[in-house]
Amino acid sequence: MCGIAGCIGGQDTQTVNRMLDALPHRGPNDRGLRIFENGVLGHTRLSIVDVAHGHQPILANGGTSGIICNGEIYNFAELKKDLTPQYRFKTNSDTEVILHLYREEGPQCVKKLNGMFAFAIFDGSEVMLARDPIGIKPLYYAYHRERIYFTSELGAMTLAGVDEVHAFPAGHYYTSRDGFVRYYRVPEEQDDPIADVERAAGLIRRTFIKAVKDRLLSDPDVPVGSFCSGGLDSSLVAAIAAENIPRLHTFAVGMRDANGELSDDLKAGRIAADYIGATHHELVFSEDDYYEALPLVIRKLETYDPALVRCAVPCYFTCQLAADYVTVVLTGEGADELFAGYHYMKHFAPEKLNVEARRCIASVHNINLQRADRMGMLFSLELRVPFFDVAMVDLAMKIAPGLKIREHNGARIEKWILRKAFENTGYLPDEILWRYKVQYTQGAGCESLGARMAEKQMSDAEIERIRSRYPQAHINSKEAAYYFQIFRKFHPQDSILNSIGIWTGFEFAEERQPVQGTVGGDLKHHTTDN
């Protein structure tokens, strides 16, 4: 929802302002800066909660304490009730609640926050930085001239002239007294997992419905919508949201094939949106549109990883479309990690499946979540991810792997228990609830475009030159080399290369195999006797 920047250990307002200058897209509505004895806090604001009075930094204790935050705290009203007798609140902002909760409980206050956040608190001589449990909101830091600089994006971070940039670890906080402290860890695999279908389905249904409803938080005049590609994940989110928002705005994008046929996501999105009674919006982009957007996508995505770039382009168009109608949009990110939705996971032994899920969840902060954050913020659009509610993550890691991928008629059905949890509930039609998993790029019809262009542009000799010059980069294909060249035009600093996440799932050939058919054909699992 916002951009933050600051320094600890000095009053370098010039650098902090330069970093804020690089973040106007993250906060087009307001800008604030505060100098403290031991540092500087800066903020650019996208106004969503307490639009009128939520200017940041928010101060307390005679101006000696202050906070900046990027994110939302979904349970702030409940927390505020407990704090009100002890503290005088100046705003109705969720951010102010964090500050007073910190004053009450210290750094451990993060354990009570239900939300997505990256924040910094100055309290006298004490300093605290924190990032949400999963790492939904971005935060980077670097050491320079005995100071610590921090901000929301890699590009802004390099303006501090640092030698090396670090991603602030998810589920951690930092204090000047204790250094980095882990406060949340993705649960380990369970000795006694939940294997009963009805129990698992009921828990998933109740937990997820609450997670979606929590993420509808905003001021009354700030509109909330939902992505709706017609896939299971986004359609389920949209269906639950539509119960609470009449004529919910939903969004889908895609291409036409050589015969003029719309891509599968456009077809399926219409079915899902019509079923839930949404006001549905579509954008059909062309191959020329794809290539025109590609440099900007890579620049703002802040990575050259092919898997992320491919998915970022349709995400870019979806965010562009959504920003014309809403300020906040819900997405289906996270279901594949929690419930074994990736095709390569079907090859894992059951005892290894939750281990792989845990690995994916622990690394998603600078991979898929980075894509969602950067593409949304490019259009001053806040993306929220109900599947990465901590209660959902904790629950998913308790579910037996055999319920996540289930054999039926010789096929292995991904995310089986999630589908089962909403079967016969009326939320979605069967053709959407049991739709076969397709990658974002496949559903949008643009899976091969980047690789096709890379084949034309990159020689084997050029790939070897890049590999030799940048051994720390992950260049394993012509496509990666092609994107890397574009990336370096906008991000020439070597300091950020070690902070870039690389998605490993596409190392498995099956993950990129095309899925044939349409929603009327073989894209639907046949589950009549489940």
- Across the range 82-96, mean pLDDT stands at 92
- pLDDT at position 378, please? 97
CATH code for the domain in which residue 236 is found = 3.40.50.620
Q: Is residue 333 part of a domain?
A: yes
Q: Is residue 191 part of a domain?
A: no
Asked if residue 216 and residue 143 are part of one domain, the reply reads: no
Taking the C-alpha atoms of residue 360 and residue 61, their distance in angstroms, rounded to an integer, is 42
**Out of 86-90, 97-101, 189-193, 458-462, least confident range:** 189-193
Taking the C-alpha atoms of residue 272 and residue 231, their distance in angstroms, rounded to an integer, is 9
Strand 140-144: give its sheet, edge to edge. 30-36, 39-45, 2-8, 147-151, 140-144, 166-167
Asked if residue 212 and residue 128 are part of one domain, the reply reads: no
Q: Is residue 521 part of a domain?
A: no
User: Which helix (H) or strand (E) element contains residue 42?
Assistant: strand 39-45
Max CA pair span of the chain: 69
pTM, whole model, 2 decimals? 0.94
% of the chain with per-residue pLDDT over 70: 95
Confidence of residue 517 (pLDDT cuts 50, 70, 90): very low
- pLDDT at position 300, please? 97
Domain boundary among 157, 182, 207: 182
Asked if residue 225 and residue 136 are part of one domain, the reply reads: no
DSSP string, 140-205: EEEEETTEEEEESSHHHHGGG--S--EEPPTTEEEETTTEEEE---PPPPPSS-B--HHHHHHHHH
Query: 302-334 burial, b for 16+ CB within 10 Å, e for fewer?
Result: bbbbbbbbbbbbbbbbbbbbbbeebbbbbbbbb
Asked if residue 265 and residue 159 are part of one domain, the reply reads: no
Q: List pLDDT tens digits, range 188-228.
A: 878 899 999 999 999 999 999 999 999 999 999 999 999 99
First and final C-alpha spacing in the chain: 42
Asked if residue 243 and residue 218 are part of one domain, the reply reads: yes
- pLDDT at position 439, please? 87
Q: Residue 516: is its pLDDT beyond 60? A: no
Q: Is residue 528 part of a domain?
A: no
Q: For the chain, give the mean pLDDT.
A: 93
Q: List pLDDT tens digits, range 464-503.
A: 999 999 998 989 899 999 999 999 999 999 989 888 888 7
Residue whose entry in the numeric block shows the structure tokens 């916002």:
2
Q: Residue 62: is its pLDDT beyond 60? A: yes
- pLDDT at position 501, please? 82
Residues 6+ apart with CB under 8 A from 175: 107, 126, 127, 128, 181
Q: List pLDDT tens digits, range 287-336.
A: 999 999 999 999 999 999 999 999 999 999 999 999 999 999 999 999 99
Q: Is residue 478 part of a domain?
A: yes
Asked if residue 419 and residue 323 are part of one domain, the reply reads: yes
What is the domain count for the chain?
A: 2
Following CA atoms 344, 190, 529, 228 in sequence, which dihedral angle do they give, to the nearest 10 degrees? -60
- Across the range 364-374, mean pLDDT stands at 94
Asked if residue 120 and residue 23 are part of one domain, the reply reads: yes
Residue whose C-alpha is closest to residue 507's, from 474, 473, 462, 467 = 474
**Token pair in block for residue 125:** 């001589």
Asked if residue 124 and residue 210 are part of one domain, the reply reads: no
- pLDDT at position 438, please? 87
281 against 84, higher pLDDT: 281
Taking the C-alpha atoms of residue 380 and residue 407, their distance in angstroms, rounded to an integer, is 43
Q: Is residue 188 part of a domain?
A: no
Confidence of residue 86 (pLDDT cuts 50, 70, 90): confident
**Token pair in block for residue 411:** 């096929």
**Token pair in block for residue 202:** 């009921």
Asked if residue 159 and residue 214 are part of one domain, the reply reads: no
Q: List pLDDT tens digits, range 396-418.
A: 999 999 999 998 777 889 999 99
Asked if residue 244 and residue 117 are part of one domain, the reply reads: no
35 forms bridges with which residues in the sheet? 40
Q: Is residue 518 part of a domain?
A: no
- pLDDT at position 503, please? 77
Taking the C-alpha atoms of residue 253 and residue 284, their distance in angstroms, rounded to an integer, is 6
Domain housing 292? 197-512
- Across the range 179-185, mean pLDDT stands at 97
Taking the C-alpha atoms of residue 478 and residue 481, their distance in angstroms, rounded to an integer, is 5
Residues carrying an active site annotation: 2
**Token pair in block for residue 143:** 């050491």
- Across the range 230-249, mean pLDDT stands at 97
Asked if residue 160 and residue 69 are part of one domain, the reply reads: yes
- pLDDT at position 50, please? 95
Q: Is residue 527 part of a domain?
A: no
Asked if residue 217 and residue 170 are part of one domain, the reply reads: no
Taking the C-alpha atoms of residue 71 and residue 48, their distance in angstroms, rounded to an integer, is 10
CATH code for the domain in which residue 28 is found = 3.60.20.10
- pLDDT at position 518, please? 46
